[in-house]
Chains A and B, each alone.
Chain A
Amino acid sequence: MIFNSELSGQQQHTTSPVVTGGSVIALVYKGGVVIGTDTLCSYGSMAAFKNVEKIAQVSKNTLYVSSGEFSDFQQVVKELAKIDRSALQYDDGVHPSPRDYGNFLARLSYKKRCKINPLYLQNVIAGFHNGERYLALVDIYGTYLESNFVTTGFASYFCKAIISNYWNENCTLDQAKQVIRECFKVLFCRDCRAHDMIQLGYVDEQGVHIEQAERVETKWDFNGFKTRANEKLHTQ
């Protein structure tokens, strides 16, 4: 299929990711679904590519983001776009719904996992179809879970408390965006492979909207930093 490394005569398998994307947070709100991700692709512990757009519009009403191996992300975007394009040849105006993409990706991930050559990704598919919000997580094993909120990577550890305290599924778009910004603030402080530039995208009745990258609000001018209070303590 897509990872045809039979050229060398030796089957290769994805053992560990090389260029990775960070956490993804997606929340359902009253009129749709909003996703946030940072704009960093790390090369191990090096912050190699700092201005990467990682929110992909797969169709008129579907967004796809993932964390993990970035080349896998790029390949999956191509595979998903292929489905929509091939729908054109039937001339019947029927296009895949967000759920179709989610399930397709789950089948694809499961197939590759069964060959011990996985797509090294935690995938998030968000969409709005027939008045219904859609949000699903497909993990590296092909597990498919639909949910009202989804977090991947470190966000699953740091951000769930913030989300459960400040978000509910019927909040406004601005409220949901604010929660995501708060989460990325915390991530930037605590996750080594996180970045302070984030990008938000949302999908509602009108379709997909991907916003410009924005900088996470951080505060560094604490008194303790300026007066180096900690250092004084050690010299005593």
Chain B
Amino acid sequence: MLKHLYDTDCVTWSPQGKLFQVEYAMEAVKQGSICLGLKSNENVVLCSLKRQPSELAGYQEKQFKIDDHMAIAIAGLTADARVLCKYMRTECLEYKYTYESHHPVGRLVFKVAEKSQHKTQSGAKRPYGVGLLVAGIDPNGVHLFETCPSGNYYEYKCQAIGSRSQAARTYFESWFHLFEKSTLEQLILHGLSALKKAIMEDEELNEKNVEVGILGKNQKFIHLNAQELKEYIQKLETFNANTQIQQE
């Protein structure tokens, strides 16, 4: 396939019906470090692996609060993520100012998707190189969405994006039937277990390189602090999804 003939800009189709620039943008998401999300009837949990550019540097934050009832986890170009984050925060604030209530989650994801699609249909623009996992609670229930540089968005029960995310997704496929009725603690442990599957052999999870954010019907979005993270990572040793089945 002579890709290079059709991949110069967004306004060129390939004979196979692909927009290569958009596909390349999706690759950027796959290069980002892993982040995953999973939800139960009451809570949503976001877990991510933070990268450290060098020993001298800090760890790159991957989760951002959009509003009390909504948060995102990013994979891909951090700069592009910042743009989308700012947009989402502004929209939520304006909605709150006008209606004194929370922006419905699906609607905001739709707006982000519209914005993303716009960038895929212009000669002078490039798609956003970031995928978002959007966790949110609204009157319609508990939500987890994924957005793509292509402008598509999907709702999930649980999803992982970024590098080596397939390993986490495999874990999810085996255990997601338990998530609906899981407690918050079980959900966090499931998330961390999935994250553990996706790290390299010589890496390990610790309170510095892991980021966990939780949202609930009665719980505004918060990050777990270093102490709590340490405890949960320790609990991982004895956590076994099989035991959850026995309890039910």
Contacts and interface: CB of A to CB of B under 8 A. Distances in A.
Interface of A: 90, 92-94, 96-97, 99-100, 103-104, 107
Nearest to A129: B139
Interface in B122-155: 138-140
Contacts of A93: 140
Q: Tell me the dominant secondary structure on chain A's binding face.
A: loop
Contacts, number: 32
B107 A90 contact: yes
A90 B104 contact: yes
Nearest to A108: B98
A81 to B, nearest CB: 16
A38 to B, nearest CB: 31
A90 B110 CA distance: 8
A92 B106 contact: yes
A94 B98 contact: no
B101 A92 contact: no
Interface residues on B, range: 10 to 19
B107 A92 contact: yes
Contacts of A103: 98-101
A6 to B, nearest CB: 24
A104 B140 contact: no
B107 A100 contact: no
B97 A107 contact: yes
A199 B103 CA distance: 36
Nearest to B110: A90
Contacts of B101: 97, 99-100, 103
A99 B106 CA distance: 20
Given A93-B140, A94-B139, A104 B104 contact: no
Contacts of B107: 90, 92, 94
A19 B140 CA distance: 42
